Structure 1
Amino acid sequence: MNNTSTSKRTVLITAHVDEEWKKRLQEISPDLHIEFRPDASVEDIPADVWQEAEVLFTLGSFPQPEQAPGLRWVQLYSAGANQAFEGPLAKSDIIFTTASGVHAVNIGEYVLTTMLAWFHRFPRFLEWKQKAEWPEDAGREQFMPEELRGKTLNIVGYGSIGREVARLAKAFGMRILALEQREDHGDHGFRFPDVGDPEGTLPDHYYKIDQFHQALGESDVVVVAVPLTPTTRGMFDKQAFAAMKKTALLVNIARGDVCDEQALLQALQEQQIAGAVLDVFNAEPLPASSPLFTLSNVFMTPHISGLTPHYDERATQIFAENLRRYVKGEELYNSVDKKRGY
């Protein structure tokens, strides 16, 4: 370690950061000593680095509390907060912040892509293409699309992803419902410019959890975007699917365990709902024996809606802004509330 670091505040980074951002981070304050250890495990990092570390930016390298007695803040590389409740630092007073907002653009586009593909009958086009023929009537009936305009979109969980979905859907003329527990509907997390709904003005109606089933009954599309917590685990159960329209489409880009998968399977098989877009599952990878693979009314992807070539840059941008705020003693973006579970 650099001997001059002893009088500085040590920032340890095990996440991926490109060269341009390394320079930007160094320029935030002359009082910072930054250690870049990409992909390093806890054991790979020297004891003296852990001893001096005050800030950690990581995906999953968490020391024991006694290894890093000066650690005050952990910035997670992930948008999820599971790591704050698991592992050696779970019971500490260390501040955890997430990369919430990093997925808004790409998952927002994923949701719009799948909705458009569903209502414009792309699965049927692909089925006929595989047959190397077209139906005799040129498909007028079975290829007849539905328009997004005028449909009701229910966003269950109005965080950064849900807000970007709302922004895009509003441009298509959809009516927006949003589950939001707070009275203040503004977005207080990290926000990229021109993304999402910062002021919370796009939904036509907000509802609380006690109106959940009623809102499901009004919805043509239901987008699941809540974090996985003890409260949300299994919230989409038999009763929830029974409350939905038979013509409704479910899109789950949250976590598989938010849905009771057996109840979902039954709802799809018995056509209690029209179809589902599933990027997440109870077990991942989804076993080949799962009946979900056989259903024609299901779009499935292998938990890839969050993939983007811009992830590292966006996660680092969130960390950089938080590091500026940390140095100034200001409130950090995306702080994890351990009582709420996210």
Structure 2
Amino acid sequence: MALFDNDKKWIKINQTFCDILGYTHDELSLLSFEDITHPEDLHTDAAEIEEIIDGARDHYKVDKRYFHKNGHLVNIHFAVSVVRDTDNEVLYFISQIIDITLLKEQEKALKRIISITQDQNDRLKNFAHIVSHNLRSHSGGISALLQLLRDDEPELFENEMIQLLETSSFNLQETINHLSEVVKINLSSNDNLTLIPLSNIINKQIASLTPIAEKNNIKITNNTEENIKVLGISAYVESIILNFITNAIKYSSSERDSFLNINSEKKGPYIIISFTDNGIGIDLDLNKNKLFGMYKTFHDNEDARGIGLFITKNQIETLGGKIEVTSELNKGTTFKVFFKHEKN
């Protein structure tokens, strides 16, 4: 705390103010405001002081930079009030002083992080635009070739493999459309989330993976409520569902008939979708901390890249949800995905 007069001369200074600036009481008493204030901040509160003297106000707050005895800058927050005599004339000012140097440094660091993040987001958006455009061109080419082939030799499309190729082409185009949709969404703001029919998406993903599931002798059952809806982005929700079904197939056990049961329940603000399989399971004691890490793998499967669960977890959290897992080695795994079903 410090007391000063109309001419900004010290009347009284407490020890805390001295300690903040590194001076002894006697040293600081010999200095004026001008001696210790950063030149750019000398007149920061000149108008406020004049208003107090004129009786237009009784207090104000201001941040200033002061020079420490060692030469570095100290950021100070002042809360200034006035004491008047019986004639309403100013006797002196009382200044409550807080060192906010650390706060200012944290503020600068936060601004730097925001700036870096914004730059990274801008680059990512540009990259996504390029990828979306290039993929759309190639996908369009594949679709056009398939259409020409259908026109010239329609009997070929009685072949199951050609039908699957056509379905894959359609799904690729749809995925690219979703990618374009994601690019347009500004940082996946909650304002952009819409209600999405979940059971339809699950059935669609099951249908697209049925040939692979049958090859791996795994039965997939969708027990979710038919009219269930969750808040999300279509591309993200489809990717999340696809990843869990694909993982159940990839890590099914060859020692038994395999299954994946997909169930739903409503709990508070969440719709919980559970994916329960009887696959090879995960040793959570060994792998729990790295389960959702980038490029972290916990099986010997040669197709494992350690990216799927990392991306999926980030997509779920972007939608305001969360994920839980229980698993027992050689018995199976249950992933529970918590989707929001209404906006806060």
TM-score (structure 2 length as normaliser): 0.23
Larger RCO, structures 1/2 (Cα 8 Å, 6+ apart): 1
Q: Computing the radius of gyration over CA atoms, which structure comes out larger, 1 or 2?
A: 2
Between Structure 1 and Structure 2, the one with more helix by share is 2
TM-score (structure 1 length as normaliser): 0.23
